[in-house]
């Protein structure tokens, strides 16, 4: 098969979506970014054998089969998923991890069941404060550490979907077939693929993927003392033109997307003079909670030469996208306006 993605590592497979495919509101399953710590299972698991267990601090431990899941009320929601490390390579100071540009993000319409409906069946006990998720993918490397992470029970009960469908199709193998967690508006690390085990705990799950990584911390700081990555930071990206493109004089359409995790994108502004002046962009396409908003700005360029284009967004709470990102050791949550600027040459 032709490779449409920008592959950063083949095993584990880590690949980002090229800008071209970020121009559509729905990111097609075939070009949706791939982020894996372990091995993508070799083939689709037999649904007759698959089970999801729910135990720990519950009144009734459960084992749910796929048929039962399908018989439960189905929810369909749009949700933009972004890897915590997305845009890391755009930081001025290098940070460790996969060198994502802007393509570690995508938007899909997911179908599944609300986690709260399942937790309702199992009955969370009052001491249950965190919900841990585990998938059946095999870890890679010597350490053999499984990708297990937990989220607070409030998030689990309010806005977490267990998805078995992605853009109207069964969840593709590499995106977690047959079931994945989706903490809506939260970064990818909170959305466990190949999900088959849920455990209710009295405190956050403790393990490598909770304590050593996915925390905002500085060099020399104990990662454990850092803040865990949760909801996606307010951010806008430019998807057209390409960086360093050569453009003719006259009208050029600048395209992009803006997203705000659990918040609502209110406004996007564009600068074509490196941030001296700003114009309001026009929204295009759907507007759904937890999903990005696409925008355009028609720029009438009268001057040949090099131009610096920036975009910035504001959410409904009046929060502004920062001009520069806050650096941290793993380069998580890079949402800087300057870091996401592009340069074009007009002739």
Ligand X SMILES: Nc1nc2c(c(=O)[nH]1)N[C@H]1C(S)=C(S)[C@@H](COP(=O)(O)O)O[C@H]1N2
200 binds, among ligand X, Mo ion, none (CB under 5 to 8 A by kind): none
- Is position 29 an interface residue for ligand X (rule: CB under 6 A)? no
- Check if the beta carbon of residue 323 is closer than 8 Å to that of residue 270: no
| 188, 256, 261, 341: residue in contact with ligand X (rule CB under 6 A) | 188
Residue 312 in the binding site for ligand X (CB under 6 A): no
Residues with Cβ within 8 Å of 90's Cβ and at least 6 positions away in sequence, in order, are 101, 102, 334, 336, 339, 340
Report the residue from 17, 27, 34, 265 that binds ligand X according to the rule CB under 6 A. Answer: 34
Residue 171: which of Mo ion, ligand X, none does it interact with, CB under 5 to 8 A by kind?
A: none
**Is residue 37 involved in binding ligand X (CB under 6 A)?**
yes
Question: Which of ligand X, Mo ion, none does residue 210 bind to, with CB < 5 to 8 Å depending on kind?
Answer: none
Residues contacting ligand X: total by CB under 6 A = 19
Closest separation in Å from C-beta 52 to ligand X:
13
Measured from the CB atom, the residue of 118 and 189 that comes closer to ligand X is 189
Those residues whose C-beta lies under 8 Å from the C-beta of residue 48, and which sit 6 or more positions away, are 66
In the complex with ligand X, the residue whose CB is nearer, 36 or 212, is: 36
Look at residues 186, 263, 291 and name the one whose alpha carbon lies nearest to residue 230: 186
CB of 269 to ligand X, least distance (A): 28
Interacting residue with Mo ion among 124, 189, 260, 268 (CB under 5 A): 189
Interface stretch with ligand X, choices 29-37, 42-50, 292-300, 338-346 (CB under 6 A): 29-37
39: number of Cβ within 10 Å: 13
Provide DSSP, 12-63: TTEEE--GGGGGSSSPPGGGS-B--SEEPPSSPPPTTT-EEEEEESBSS-EE
Tell me the closest approach of the beta carbon of residue 188 to Mo ion, in angstroms: 4
Alpha helices by DSSP H, listed for 102-207, are 115-122, 153-159
The answer to whether the bond into 12 is cis (omega within 30° of 0) is yes
Q: Which tokens go with 206?
A: 């403790």
Return the residue of 16, 137, 231, 269 that touches ligand X, per CB under 6 A: 137
Q: Which is nearer to Mo ion, 214 or 295 (CB)?
A: 214
CB-CB contact of 119 with 159 (8 Å) = no
Q: DSSP readout, 114-137?
A: EHHHHHHHH-B-TT--EEEEEE-P
Binding mask 146-165 for ligand X (x = CB under 6 A): -x------------------
Which tokens sit at 133?
């998720």
Binding to ligand X by residue 215, rule CB under 6 A? Answer: no
35-94 binders of Mo ion (CB under 5 A) = 35, 83-84
228 contact, one of Mo ion, ligand X, none, CB 5-8 Å limit per kind: none
**d(Cα 118, Cα 214) in Å, to the nearest integer?**
27
Q: Which residue of 19, 130, 193, 312 would you call a contact of ligand X, by CB under 6 A?
A: 193
Query: For residues 254, 257, 263 and 267, what is the CA-based torsion angle, rounded to 10 degrees?
Result: 10
Residue (of 279, 151, 138) closest to 203 by Cα position: 151
Q: Please report, to the nearest 10 degrees, the dihedral formed by the alpha carbons of residues 55, 57, 61, 66 taken in order.
A: -50
191, interface contact from ligand X, Mo ion, none, CB < 5-8 Å by kind: ligand X
By CB under 5 A, name the binding residues for Mo ion.
Answer: 35, 83-84, 188-189
> Which residues would be at the binding site for ligand X (CB under 6 A)?
32-38, 81, 83, 135, 137, 147, 175, 188-189, 191-194
């Amino acid at each position: 098969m032709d490779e449409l993605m920008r592959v950063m590592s083949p095993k584990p497979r880590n690949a980002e979506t090229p800008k071209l495919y970020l121009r559509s509101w729905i990111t097609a399953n075939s070009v949706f970014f791939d982020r894996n710590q372990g091995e993508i299972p070799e083939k689709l698991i037999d649904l007759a054998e698959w089970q999801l267990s729910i135990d720990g601090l519950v009144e009734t431990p459960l084992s749910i089969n796929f048929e039962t899941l399908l018989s439960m009320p189905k929810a369909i929601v749009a949700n933009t998923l972004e890897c915590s490390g997305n845009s890391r390579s755009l930081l001025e100071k290098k940070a460790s991890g996969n060198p994502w540009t802007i393509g570690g993000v995508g938007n899909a319409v997911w179908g599944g069941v609300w986690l709260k409906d399942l937790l309702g069946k199992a009955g969370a006990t009052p001491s249950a404060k965190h919900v841990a998720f585990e998938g059946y993918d095999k870890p890679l490397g010597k350490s053999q550490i499984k990708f297990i992470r937990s989220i607070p029970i409030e998030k689990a009960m309010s806005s977490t979907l267990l998805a078995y469908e992605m853009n109207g199709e069964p969840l593709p193998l590499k995106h977690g077939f047959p079931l994945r967690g989706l903490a809506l508006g939260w970064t990818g690390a909170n959305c466990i693929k190949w999900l088959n085990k849920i455990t209710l705990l009295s405190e956050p799950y403790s393990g490598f993927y909770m304590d050593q990584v996915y925390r905002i911390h500085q060099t020399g700081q104990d990662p454990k003392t850092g803040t865990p990555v949760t909801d996606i930071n307010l951010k806008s990206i430019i998807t057209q033109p390409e960086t360093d493109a050569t453009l003719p004089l006259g009208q050029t359409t600048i395209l992009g997307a803006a997203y705000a995790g659990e918040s609502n994108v209110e406004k996007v502004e564009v600068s074509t003079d490196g941030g001296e002046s700003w114009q309001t962009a026009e929204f295009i396409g759907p507007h759904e909670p937890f999903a990005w908003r696409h925008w355009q700005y028609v720029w009438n360029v009268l001057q040949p030469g090099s131009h610096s284009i920036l975009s910035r967004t504001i959410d409904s709470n009046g929060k502004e996208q920062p001009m520069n990102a806050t650096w941290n050791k793993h380069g998580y949550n890079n949402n800087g306006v300057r870091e996401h600027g592009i340069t074009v040459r007009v002739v």
